Amino acid sequence: MAGWDVHTHLIPPTVLAAAHRGEFGLSVDSGSLVVDGGRLPLRRLADPTALLHWIAEQDLDGAVVSVPPALFRYDLGADWVELVNQGLRELATPQLRVLAHLPLLDPAAPGVAAGLAGEGVFSGFALGTPSYAGLDPVWQVLDEVEAFTLIHPGASDDKRLDSFYLSNLLGNPYETGVAAASLVFADVPGRFPGIRFCLCHGGGVTAAVAGRWQRGIDQARPGIEPLTLPVAEALRRFYVDDLVHDGAVMDLLTRTFGPDRVLAGSDWPFPMGSDEVSAARSAAAGELTRPLAREVTE
């Protein structure tokens, strides 16, 4: 049984070219892409052929590609977004499906999303975890085209996470939980049921705190507005990848989100990713991540 890995990363070739030219604050140094003070080792991240080898080794049909979160850079404008998306277009092949980048916090984001959805190139969108306040116009577009929408954590601002690699070990699961909570408590799954949200890293802390969220609703805690769905039902509208490295947590994901909602995601080629893909959990992703080809109605 073949299938798809929904969580892999590549640096778009247009971004690499810009770095070699010293544009957009990027540079290349000692085999790494230098971006906003951080470093991304190029090697496999800049090598689509290496990802194709991974696909063959895992006996998959293909992989779904998004940019590494260091490249979200929501403070930059439309030129940055177009540079990234042009590189993703160049990466797209029958075996590599690509998720578009959005200027998520820009008023132009809904129009950009609508245009990208109609191209027939992108299989959905990859979003980071900034504030989601005021994004109903974006959700309306993604709902109309029933977009596969990968939620990938960005960097946490908590300086306590600077030691022990906690920025990844704890910060990433926390950031995904914040994103999921923002969607649930804004009633996004209830109001925009067509969006196929997929939370990376098993949804981070989401499954572990879902009961606490419902308790907060039941006790009418401050700031919580009425929702159309209870938390348990809202979470069944999400997909998650299976990148949790723990069988007991996998059982929790199955109970929380549903067995058909847990997809194979490796986080290739990062070291915190998995070494192999579950054939059973990779099969469902093929239909979910077909390239979008729907115009948004005015």
The stretch 24-47 carries a mean pLDDT of 95
User: Residue 151 forms beta bridges with which residues?
Assistant: 127, 199
Asked if residues 129 and 72 have their Cβ atoms less than 8 Å apart, the reply is: no
Alpha carbons 8 and 2: distance in angstroms, whole number:
17
For 118-154, how does the pLDDT look when each residue is reduced to its tens digit (9 = 90+)? Answer: 999 999 999 999 999 999 999 999 999 999 999 999 9
Residue 155 has a pLDDT of 87
CA distances from 124 to 93, 204, 219, 281 (A): 15, 21, 37, 19
Alpha carbons 98 and 64: distance in angstroms, whole number:
6
Mean pLDDT of the chain: 96
Least trusted range by pLDDT, from 87-91, 156-160, 233-237: 156-160
Residue 4 has a pLDDT of 97
Residue 248 has a pLDDT of 97
Task: Output DSSP code: residue 93.
Answer: B
Which positions ≥6 away from 282 have C-beta within 8 Å? 1, 2, 3, 4, 5, 58, 60, 263, 264
Residue 9, pLDDT > 80, answer yes
pTM comes to 0.96
Handedness of CA 29, 31, 35, 39 (dihedral sign): negative
Quick one: what percent of the chain has pLDDT higher than 70?
A: 99
For 202-238, how does the pLDDT look when each residue is reduced to its tens digit (9 = 90+)? Answer: 999 999 999 999 999 999 999 999 999 999 999 999 9
Q: Is 39 helix (H, G, I), strand (E, B) or coil?
A: strand
Residue 42 has a pLDDT of 95
Q: Residue 1's pLDDT band (boundaries 50, 70, 90)?
A: low
Residue 167 has a pLDDT of 95
